[in-house]
Amino acid sequence: MVLTQHIILIGPMGAGKSTIGRLLSEQLAMAFVDLDRLIEERAGASIPWIFDIEGEEGFRERETQSLEFILNSPAQVIATGGGCILRPENRQYLLMSDLVVYLETSIEQQLERTSKDKNRPLLQNENPGGVLRAMAELRNPLYHQSARLTVDTNGKPPKLVTHEILHFLDEIQNEKLPS
């Protein structure tokens, strides 16, 4: 399968966007970019440092600039940060792509997957579960609006989720072929 568009993975932190993105890029022989890592490379600083110095708004501005940059590059598999969909301009960028995949997961699964990760500034507080619930309430409708495909990742091995996405990509490729 040869794709000419980006595959963009969206969803909350801990949904598996980076892991599944890497697996998809291997299967499709496409480059992979983790938007958070790109932001760090372009800033020359870690995400926690950016949050400390520039606040969330400064980070979100960098995120928009990096998303725009990467979408103007050849087709790649892109793992976005969980809050990427918060800005209207980012959602517009996502709506211009056919291949936005929402990796949906539960709060419990997020807590399990992120509990030891100190590189998540929004969870460094007394009640990470409460923070995740508040984020989900705001963000989940935006993920659904922005995605063409939603895949539940709860309790699923990354290879199974990757297989589901590849199956979807095969289906839409076949829709585009003349009969």
pLDDT tens digits for range 123-157: 566 777 788 899 899 999 999 999 999 999 998 99
Given a cut of 90, whether residue 69 has pLDDT beyond it is yes
Structural domains in the chain, sorted by start: 7-173 (3.40.50.300)
Q: What is the mean pLDDT of residues 18-32?
A: 96
Q: How far apart are CA 96 and CA 115, in angstroms?
A: 34
Q: Which two tokens stand for residue 22?
A: 């890497």
Q: What is the mean pLDDT of residues 80-90?
A: 94
| CA 16 and chain centroid, separation | 8
Q: Identity (one letter) of the amino acid at 93?
A: Y
Given a cut of 90, whether residue 5 has pLDDT beyond it is no
Place of tokens 């495909």: 149
Tens-place pLDDT, residues 150-174: 999 998 999 999 999 999 998 887 7
Q: Identity (one letter) of the amino acid at 110?
A: Q
